[in-house]
């Protein structure tokens, strides 16, 4: 027996990529500061040449910072970082310094100026190939990538019990076999130790 899923909800059947925190460099006064936002929608596009894509609404600050600087990093959210990721996905860098407020650690990128979030399970430094405002599609060229050895080999090592978080919709997230409930957060969660 199958249940009917509306065409508008059918994306939930495909949406099982890892939850990401996207870091960009945004204009702040005379300089640039790292900014973070949360993105659930991502997709591999090609292996030769390597291309990835994320969907970022063109009204978001992240969209504009990406457009201005031409680069970003993708950072895979772990279970421990979920409250901070949800906060980064609830408020805008237009009004908040989300990295300072959440205590997220940043480390300089190896090939681009935008930092990575080393507490995340994996990090991809990307050049932005193109952005399409109508769809929010941000086409990316990965230039360097890093992943925690215990969590990732040539793919995610699910057998080791360390799982990327996936967004199931609304307040519901999946981590391995667990469903986590994390409501939207308008005030920053207390920085947790560890990942
Ligand atoms: C779990 C979660 C997943 C999200 N996924 C996306 C996404 O895939 N694309 C998007 O444009 N916004 C997504 N958002 C919303 C943005 O993260 C949110 O609007 C954020 O405040 C934008 O911040 P900014 O203005 O600093 O860019 C998501 C939010 C949450 C909480």
Determine which helix (DSSP H) or strand (DSSP E) holds 61, and give its type and residue range.
helix 61-69
Q: What is the pLDDT of residue 41?
A: 96
| 187 in any annotated domain | no
**Domain region containing 128:** 7-148+157-181
Ligand 1 centre and the CA of 123: distance in Å? 18
**Band of pLDDT at residue 22, cut at 50, 70 and 90:** very high
Q: What is the CATH number of the domain that holds 127?
A: 2.30.110.10
Q: How confident is the model at residue 191 (pLDDT cuts 50, 70, 90)?
A: low
CB-based contacts of 65, cutoff 8 Å, min separation 6 = 24, 25, 26, 27, 35, 93
pTM tops 0.85? yes
Return the best residue to mutate from 40, 134, 175 for the ligand 1 pocket (most ligand atoms within 8 A of CB). 40
- Residue 195 lies inside a defined structural domain of this protein: no
Q: According to the model, what pLDDT value does residue 190 have?
A: 77
Lowest mean pLDDT among 72-81, 96-105, 174-183, 186-195: 186-195
Distance between Cα 37 and ligand 1 center (Å):
6
DSSP at 23: E
> Has residue 140 been placed in a domain?
yes
pLDDT, the chain, mean = 93
Give the bridge partners for 22, in sequence order. 37, 74
Residue 189 lies in a domain: no
Q: Tell me the mean pLDDT in the region 83-94.
A: 98
Task: Judge whether 16 lies within some domain.
Answer: yes
Q: Considering the domain boundaries, does residue 70 fall inside one?
A: yes
Per-residue model confidence as pLDDT tens digits over 25-76: 999 999 999 999 999 999 999 999 999 999 999 999 999 999 999 999 999 9
Do residues 179 and 167 touch, judged by C-beta distance below 8 A? Answer: no
Query: 143 CA distance to ligand 1 centroid (A)?
Result: 24
Q: Which two tokens stand for residue 14?
A: 């495909």
Please list every protein residue whose CB sits less than 6 Å from any atom of ligand 1.
Answer: 35, 37-41, 55-57, 60-62, 86, 89-94, 136, 167
In percent, the amount of the chain with pLDDT more than 90 equals 84
Q: Which residue has the tokens 């939207």?
A: 184
- Report the distance separating Cα 90 and Cα 79, nearest Å: 18
Average pLDDT rounded to a whole number, residues 171-190: 94
DSSP character string of 81-143: GHHHHHHHTTS-TTT--HHHHHT---B--SSSSSPB-TTSSEEEEEEEEEEETTTTEEEEEEE
Is residue 193 included in any domain, yes or no?
Answer: no
* Any domain includes 133: yes
Residue ID of nearest Cα to ligand 1 atom 19: 89
59 three-class SS: coil
Count the domains in the chain.
1
Question: Residue 150: what pLDDT?
Answer: 93
Q: What is the dihedral of CA 145, 150, 151, 155, to 10 degrees?
A: 70
pLDDT of residue 11: 81
**Residue pLDDT, tens place only, 108-125:** 999 999 999 999 999 999
């Amino acid at each position: 027996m199958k249940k009917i899923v509306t065409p508008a909800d059918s994306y939930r059947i495909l949406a099982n990529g890892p939850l990401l925190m996207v870091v960009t460099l945004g204009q702040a006064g005379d300089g640039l500061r790292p900014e973070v936002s949360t993105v659930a929608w991502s997709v591999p596009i090609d292996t030769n040449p390597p291309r990835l894509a994320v969907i970022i609404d063109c009204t978001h600050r992240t969209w504009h910072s990406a457009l201005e600087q031409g680069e970003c990093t993708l950072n895979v959210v772990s279970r421990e970082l979920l409250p901070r990721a949800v906060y980064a996905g609830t408020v805008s860098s237009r009004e908040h310094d989300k990295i300072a407020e959440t205590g997220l650690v940043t480390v300089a990128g190896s090939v681009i100026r935008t930092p990575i979030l080393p507490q995340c399970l994996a990090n991809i430094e990307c050049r932005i190939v193109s952005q399409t405002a109508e769809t929010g599609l941000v086409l990316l060229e990965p230039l360097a990538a890093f992943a925690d050895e215990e969590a990732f080999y040539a793919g995610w090592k699910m057998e080791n019990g360390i799982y990327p978080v996936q967004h199931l919709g609304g307040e519901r997230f999946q981590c391995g076999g667990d469903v986590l409930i994390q409501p939207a957060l308008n005030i920053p969660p207390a920085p947790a130790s560890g990942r």
